[in-house]
Amino acid sequence: MRQLHILLPVALLLSACGMIDGNTDGPQPSRTTERLPAATGETRQCLANLSSRGVEYRRLPDRNFANGCRAIGAVQLVQVGTPTRNLGAMTCPLADRYARWTREVLQPAAERHFGEQVSLVETFGTYGCRNISGTGRLSEHGKANAIDISAFNLSGGRRITVLNGWNNSDSRERRFLRDLHRGACERFEIVLGPDANADHRNHFHFDMGSRGPYCR
């Protein structure tokens, strides 16, 4: 990790979301890219993987927005096994990793720490046309390639937020959230949480951008 600190533009990574003052509504789509194109080989394989895991999704037309923002090869997840609020356009690789993370990391962790299921994941969304906070570089959210996750509702009624749970006096909440973070680092390219910077005190940012791997 020390080496990564030297090699990577850490300041950019640590503020990959910039979501607080970000504009979450994209501009209107351009008319030229409305139709649903044939999926590339890579996307086709990814879509097949989603289907084989029982994930239900709807393919979205490729969209180019102003300022370089875009959603190419994206899907709308319909059913991943864990209800999730606020999911918008997601690139197929991001959707695939998210579905796997809910099954392989999230639900087992809830079972392990609380003996319960996660009944709802709350997110701040996926697509959002914005730059990385404090920079002129496009956030992965501007490519539908990132998700911000803020809270988890358990079947017994407990609600665990990243904001209050990360350093909670209840060690189960702390360990649960750290297990989710660690499991994400093994599956996504860039993972940021409360220890990354103040921007991420209230959510986990997972993305499939090319600047990783990075885990903080």
User: In whole angstroms, how close is the CB of 130 to Zn ion at the nearest point?
Assistant: 9
Enumerate binding residues for Zn ion (CB under 5 A).
17, 146, 148, 205
- Any residues with CB less than 8 A from the CB of 157 and at least 6 apart, and which? none
CB-wise, 61 or 212, nearer to Zn ion?
A: 212
List strands edge to edge, sheet with 90-91.
Answer: 56-59, 74-79, 90-91
User: In whole angstroms, how close is the CB of 153 to Zn ion at the nearest point?
Assistant: 21
User: In whole angstroms, how close is the CB of 58 to Zn ion at the nearest point?
Assistant: 23
User: In whole angstroms, how close is the CB of 194 to Zn ion at the nearest point?
Assistant: 13
CB-wise, 148 or 189, nearer to Zn ion?
A: 148
- Asked if 143 contacts 91 with a C-beta cutoff of 8 angstroms, the reply is yes
Residue with tokens 């609020």: 85
User: In whole angstroms, how close is the CB of 43 to Zn ion at the nearest point?
Assistant: 22
CB-wise, 41 or 136, nearer to Zn ion?
A: 136
- Asked if 201 contacts 132 with a C-beta cutoff of 8 angstroms, the reply is no
CB-wise, 87 or 146, nearer to Zn ion?
A: 146
* CA count, 13 A, side-chain hemisphere, 82: 27
Q: Side chain identity at 44, as an amino acid letter?
A: R
Residue closest to 61 by CA, chosen among 74, 48, 46:
74
CB-wise, 19 or 92, nearer to Zn ion?
A: 19
Query: CA 48, CA 41: separation in Å to the nearest integer?
Result: 11
